[in-house]
Amino acid sequence: MDSFPDYYTALGVAPAATQQEISRAYRALMRTHHPDVDGGAAAGGAPADQALQDAELLKIMQAFAVLRDPQQRAAYDHSISGRIPDGAAPQNIPVRKVRRPAGPARHTIRITPVRWESGPWA
């Protein structure tokens, strides 16, 4: 067995999933696995069942804690890079920053008049 748990499988998402997909999967799993949400049905179960449900809930929470943070996710992906196919891991894309010339601050909001007369109804 691998020394690293498969957090993508725990959340049911692909390794190339976006942050939004990861958050949605986590919330959906928490709605189905959290003991307070299912109406207390888990509280009446056998202790072995309760321990299994607690372990599953902990696994989901640990997966989300790692995958929601971009730095931790990159470190996790790097540590299991042998198992992830090329191109499936998140990639860092360089972003060009536009520098403005020094001087007085300009308005950041452009306000234009509203012409209610124009449109398909005019």
Residue 16, domain member (yes or no)? yes
User: Considering the entire predicted model, what is its pTM?
Assistant: 0.57
How far is the C-alpha of 9 from the C-alpha of 73, rounded, in Å? 14
Rounded (5°) CA angle 34-35-41: 130
2 closest CA partner among 65, 84, 73, 64: 84
How far is the C-alpha of 55 from the C-alpha of 63, rounded, in Å? 12
Residue 103, domain member (yes or no)? no
- Along the 122 residues of the chain, how does pLDDT read in single tens digits? 445 688 999 999 998 899 999 999 999 998 888 777 764 454 555 677 788 888 888 999 999 999 999 999 998 888 887 655 555 666 677 777 767 667 666 656 666 666 666 666 65
Q: How far is CA 108 from CA 100, 114, 115, in A?
A: 12, 18, 22
Residue 50, domain member (yes or no)? yes
Task: Provide the number of structural domains found in the chain.
Answer: 1
